[in-house]
A = this chain, B = another copy of it.
Amino acid sequence: MLGKYLDAVRAKKPLIHNITNYVTVNDVANMELACGASPIMADEPEEVRDIQTICNGLCINLGTLNRRTIPAMNESGDCAAELGHAILLDPVGAGASTLRTDTALALLDSVPFDVVRGNISEIRTLFAGAGNTHGVDAAEGDSVTEANLLNMGRFACSFAERFHTVCVISGAIDLVADAKTCYAIRNGVPEMSQITGTGCQLSGLTTCFIAANPEEKLQASAAAVAAMGLAGETALSRQQPGDGNATLRNRIIDAIYNMSGTNLDSGEKIERIIG
């Protein structure tokens, strides 16, 4: 079912403007290329309107947030909204600092994001309007499990409704929801959490998918999440003795590079849990 959304990315080759952190930016760029899209990174307020105008989507990521680039985020968001571009927010570290929480909330207030993707701590923080996260990883207590799945799905729908967006909560089980529907996706492997930037890469990938599938952003987001998880599974299956997280990182991007719509159709593990 989800393969066609990947096929659309490869057919349309969207150009994505990314304002993102300097830790994982290279992997984000290679991931967007791997799925058939093209990345541009620009964060100087003076030029981001020019850059956004030639693009099809916008990915805003709050990792290594700094005062200099916040105006660029606002300007790009306004421009993307005017032009009807797909827009995603990755609120990295929301809850870990007041600056990140406040910046994420202010952006949510002014930019009509199509998707917000984060871990459960970040998403909870934004829903509460304030809160604490354990660094940039999800705190253990409140992860999505089989036991609390339906409750967490309802929470994801509530988030989506409040912020008029698709809500993607990444974890051992991923949730992708709009106000009325929630999917649980069970692709992926735990080893992905030992690589820096798999979340950032997924945000970049999701932006490509929604830019290429503007009429079906919920399903397109689910497709990106399933594709990323499936890539993790493929990558892990290719590990050799002695390989570790650095090689796995490369293999995940490679797996997206080699993934076809048919591969995704047969590898996806998606269940509609609400709606």
A137 in contact (CB, < 8 A): yes
Taking CB atoms, residues of chain B closer than 8 Å to A137 are 38
Taking CB atoms, residues of chain B closer than 8 Å to A132 are 54
Q: Which interface residue of A25, A137, A251 has the most chain B CB atoms within 10 A? A: A25
> How many residues on chain A are close to B (CB under 8 Å)?
64
Please state if A253 and B258 are interface contacts (CB–CB under 8 Å).
no
Taking CB atoms, residues of chain B closer than 8 Å to A250 are 246-247, 249-250
Taking CB atoms, residues of chain B closer than 8 Å to A194 are 33-34, 257
A270 in contact (CB, < 8 A): no
A44 in contact (CB, < 8 A): yes
A100 in contact (CB, < 8 A): yes
Which of B40, B234, B254 is in CB contact (< 8 Å) with A136?
A: B40
Taking CB atoms, residues of chain B closer than 8 Å to A2 are none
Which of B34, B196, B244 is in CB contact (< 8 Å) with A244?
A: B34
Taking CB atoms, residues of chain B closer than 8 Å to A247 are 250-251, 254
Number of copies of this chain that the complex holds: 3
Please state if B246 and A242 are interface contacts (CB–CB under 8 Å).
no
CA distance A238 to B22 in the complex (A): 30
Taking CB atoms, residues of chain B closer than 8 Å to A42 are 64-65, 93, 97
CB-CB contacts below 8 Å: A231-255 with B: 234, 238, 242-247, 249-255
A162 in contact (CB, < 8 A): no
Which of B30, B33, B43 is in CB contact (< 8 Å) with A66?
A: B43
Please state if A47 and B100 are interface contacts (CB–CB under 8 Å).
yes
Given contacts A30-B195, A42-B64, contact A244 B249 (CB under 8 A): no
Q: In the complex, what's the smallest C-beta–C-beta distance from A232 to chain B, in angstroms?
A: 13
Q: In the complex, what's the smallest C-beta–C-beta distance from A163 to chain B, in angstroms?
A: 23
Which of B93, B195, B251 is in CB contact (< 8 Å) with A33?
A: B195
Please state if A65 and B47 are interface contacts (CB–CB under 8 Å).
yes
Per-residue CB contact flags for chain A residues 9-44 toward chain B (1 = under 8 Å, else 0) read 000000100000111111101100110001111111
Q: Which A residues form the contact surface with B (CB < 8 A)?
A: 15, 21-27, 29-30, 33-34, 38-44, 46-47, 50-51, 54-55, 63-68, 93, 96-100, 132, 134-137, 194-197, 234, 238, 242-247, 249-258
